[in-house]
Amino acid sequence: MTAAPKATLLPVYVLADESQSMGAHLLDLNRGLAELHEALLGQPMAAAKVRFSIIGFADDVRERMRLADLRRTDHLPGLISRGRTNYAEVFADLRHRLHADVGSLKQEGFAVYRPAVFMLTDGQPNDNAWRTPYRELIDRDSTPEAPNIIAFGVGSVRADVILRLATRPEFAFVALAGIDVGSAIARFCTALTHSIIHSVRARGPGAPRLVVQQPDGFEMAIDVV
Amino acid sequence: MSFEEPHWGSIAVGTPGADFEPRPASSAWYRPDTVADGWATDDLIVRLAAVRGYAHRYEGLPRQDDAAAVHHPVTGSVVFAIADGVSSTPLAHIGATAACRAAVTAVLSGLDDDGRARWPDVVERAAWQVVRQAGLVLGLDSPDPERAERQMATTLITGLVRPCPDGPNVELVRIGDGGAWILHDGGFRTLFEPAATPLVPSEVTALPRVPEVVTRGGVLTAGDVLVVGTDGIAEPLGDGSGSVGAYLAERLAVPRPPLTFAHDVDFSRETFDDDRTLLAIWPRQRSRTDTRG
């Protein structure tokens, strides 16, 4: 934890598939990102917490925007169609990028939430070589900054791949049209940032036990209802 | 005359957050924005505030923190509890209230029985209260702890300050997050080890689960202030070395009236928008001119 944080930030990454199979959907994605920008600007508390990065990937990985404060950003950079789909490259890049980015935000005096990654893709990678770098990326033991990944399938979607990319089943979506993608990401983003949802630690080694029976001599202190 | 200008009037610490009129809380049970309390015994001065966070004000969710502080006349102890309902559970605010009242009742009962609090029992009773409360609210025929956990899980810090010949003795226990400190000369000495994680944790231990309970404490000397807070305070405070630490150290230097105390707790600092609960206890310096009976 940062000693006395200036603010608490959520790093958000849009991983956009720029491969040629994505085709006309890039136009929709670009529009969707613009909508996301608008939506966040209308939510001042959410916008204050987010540092926004856009990573385009195809054969290689191109950083289009890094850790931007959207309140000070006029417009988002466009995505550019090219090449074929290489997931392995982008997951390996992301693992190093998250480590570096979280480190630099903490050095600047911020406390940092677990990063959120919105991956926009048609779920048609070249090969299966991505599984190992993906597993390393999301393994919290080997990657302390392991992100939550929300996967959006667009275009000619392979839904089974989208499900494998999302870090929870409820984080997997298939978009009907590019416009849906923009508003869906915007809704998700603002929900994520309004209040970082706390969940109860119930699983894993050392999980505390659930109290299942009435203690001796227990008396109800109040009836709230 | 226009009434549309923002009027919330919080004190800014660093860059303030957004200023707006809160939305009403969408809860079937009336729950005010702020709880403020304050009183003094012969030995101790108490101030307490539980304040709805800016995020919940913006979203129209109720305050999910709660607190309680009472006096045990026979031992002179001040008994307290603060709780932070887990935001992923829809009735978190009820869990927080139930846990605080049950913890305080259980501590008082121990003090009545043999002059001490048995902390594992206290925590167990608070956990069971959450289970029973969930049963009432949901209209269940029999208690369902797993359902209670999904509906109204909550953290809890509970303890007491007891006047003793060597000075007021503090004992407290924690389930989940939040913190407790001794404030002295502008510095915050933590009573709980800070978490050693690179990221702000989003998972928390919460009632009705109970971990192994470890009692913390110490003796308050002249110039000390016991400060206990939920995560809404602990997160911006950090190790106390920054602006929030300096601000709170100044505002807590002396006990101020309860409404001023609550206003102080409701400071505005960008991104720190969680509900906040703060309890402060000062050893009382009695002067010859003190007119209390």
> Rounded to whole angstroms, how far apart are CA atoms B129 and B66?
15
pLDDT single digits (tens) B165-177 = 999 999 999 999 9
Contact list in B for residue A113 (CB cut-off 8 A) is 199-200, 202
Contact A117, A147 (CB under 8 A): yes
> Rounded to whole angstroms, how far apart are CA atoms B72 and B109?
10
Q: What is the pLDDT at residue A196?
A: 47
Which among B101, B131, B271 has the least Cβ separation from residue A48?
A: B271
A186, with CB counted inside 10 A (0-12, 13-18, 19+), is buried
> Rounded to whole angstroms, how far apart are CA atoms B50 and B196?
27
Find, in chain A, the residue whose alpha carbon is nearest to that of B139.
A225
Average the pLDDT over B55-72 and give the result.
Answer: 94
Higher-pLDDT residue of B156 and B27 is: B156
Q: Of A122-126, A220-224, B68-72, B242-246, which range is least confident?
A: A220-224
State the ipTM, two decimals: 0.86
The full length of chain A comes to 225
Q: What mean pLDDT value characterizes chain B?
A: 93
Contact list in B for residue A111 (CB cut-off 8 A) is 200, 235, 238
Give A222's pLDDT tier (boundaries 50, 70, 90): low
Q: Tell whether B187 is within 8 A of chain A (Cβ).
A: no
Q: Tell whether A220 is within 8 A of chain B (Cβ).
A: yes
Sequence-separated (6 or more) residues with CB below 8 Å from residue B239: A3, A4, B188, B190, B194, B245
Average the pLDDT over A24-38 and give the result.
Answer: 79
Higher-pLDDT residue of A151 and B48 is: B48
> Rounded to whole angstroms, how far apart are CA atoms B94 and B108?
21
Residue B3 lies in a domain: no
Contact list in A for residue B86 (CB cut-off 8 A) is 198-200
Give B183's pLDDT tier (boundaries 50, 70, 90): very high
Average the pLDDT over A29-56 and give the result.
Answer: 85
Residue B241 pLDDT exceeds 70: yes
> Rounded to whole angstroms, how far apart are CA atoms B168 and B184?
15
Q: What is the pLDDT at residue A187?
A: 66
Give A193's pLDDT tier (boundaries 50, 70, 90): low
- For A1, B84, B181, the CA distances from B195, given in Å and listed in that order, are 7, 18, 15
Q: What is the pLDDT at residue A182?
A: 61
> Tokens 């109970």 map to which residue?
B210
- Do B89 and A223 count as a contact with CB atoms less than 8 A apart? no
Residue B14 pLDDT exceeds 60: yes
Give A153's pLDDT tier (boundaries 50, 70, 90): confident
- Do A4 and B133 count as a contact with CB atoms less than 8 A apart? no
Sequence-separated (6 or more) residues with CB below 8 Å from residue B170: B159, B160, B161, B182, B191, B216, B217, B218, B219, B220, B226
Residue B38 pLDDT exceeds 70: yes
Q: Of B1-5, B66-70, B260-264, which range is least confident?
A: B1-5
* For chain A, counts of helices (H) and of strands (E): 6, 9
Which among B279, B33, B262 is positioned nearest to B158, based on CA atoms? Answer: B279
Contacts from B114-121 at CB under 8 Å and sequence distance 24+?
A: B115/B74, B115/B75, B117/B79, B117/B160, B117/B171, B119/B171, B119/B173, B119/B213, B119/B215, B120/B210, B120/B213, B121/A215
Q: Tell whether A141 is within 8 A of chain B (Cβ).
A: no
Residue A207 pLDDT exceeds 80: no
Which among B225, B143, B124, B139 is positioned nearest to B184, based on CA atoms? Answer: B225
Residue A195 pLDDT exceeds 50: no
Percent of chain B with pLDDT over 70: 95
Residue B47 pLDDT exceeds 50: yes
Q: What is the pLDDT at residue A185?
A: 64
| Tokens of residue B185, six digits | 């000369």
Contact A132, A143 (CB under 8 A): no
Q: What is the pLDDT at residue B15?
A: 94
Q: What is the pLDDT at residue A177?
A: 57
Q: What is the pLDDT at residue B293?
A: 44
Which among A8, A200, A209 has the least Cβ separation from residue B271?
A: A8
Residue B5 lies in a domain: no
CATH number at residue B233: 3.60.40.10
B141 secondary structure, DSSP code: S
pLDDT single digits (tens) A102-114 = 999 999 999 999 9
B233 Cα to chain A: minimum distance (Å): 11
Q: Tell whether A145 is within 8 A of chain B (Cβ).
A: yes
Residue B290 pLDDT exceeds 60: no
Tell the CATH topology of A8-194: Rossmann fold (3.40.50)
Residue A96 pLDDT exceeds 50: yes
- Number of structural domains, chain B? 1
Task: Dump strand ranges (E) for chain B.
Answer: 34-40, 44-51, 65-72, 77-84, 156-162, 169-175, 179-184, 187-190, 203-204, 209-210, 216-219, 224-229, 276-283
For residue B174, the SS3 value is strand
What domain range is B272 assigned to?
34-192+200-283
Average the pLDDT over B256-264 and give the result.
Answer: 98
**B113, B119, B177, B199: best to mutate for the A interface, most A CBs within 10 A:** B199
| Tokens of residue A224, six digits | 């709230």
Residue A188 pLDDT exceeds 80: no
> Rounded to whole angstroms, how far apart are CA atoms B130 and B122?
13
| Farthest CA pair distance, chain A | 71
Q: What is the pLDDT at residue A173?
A: 80
Question: How many angstroms from the chain centroid is the CA of residue A60?
Answer: 20
> Tokens 């729950």 map to which residue?
B31
Average the pLDDT over B247-261 and give the result.
Answer: 98
B10, with CB counted inside 10 A (0-12, 13-18, 19+), is middle
**A41, A211, A222: best to mutate for the B interface, most B CBs within 10 A:** A211
pLDDT single digits (tens) A48-82 = 888 999 999 999 999 999 999 999 999 899 998 99
Higher-pLDDT residue of B242 and A215 is: B242
Q: Of A204-213, B184-193, B212-221, which range is least confident?
A: A204-213
Bridge partners for B156 per DSSP: B175
Contact B204, B156 (CB under 8 A): no
Contact list in B for residue A144 (CB cut-off 8 A) is 197-199
Q: What is the pLDDT at residue B74?
A: 97
pLDDT single digits (tens) B203-230 = 889 999 999 999 999 999 999 999 999 9
Q: What is the pLDDT at residue B285?
A: 79
Contact B175, B208 (CB under 8 A): no
Higher-pLDDT residue of B125 and A45 is: B125
| Tokens of residue A35, six digits | 């909508």
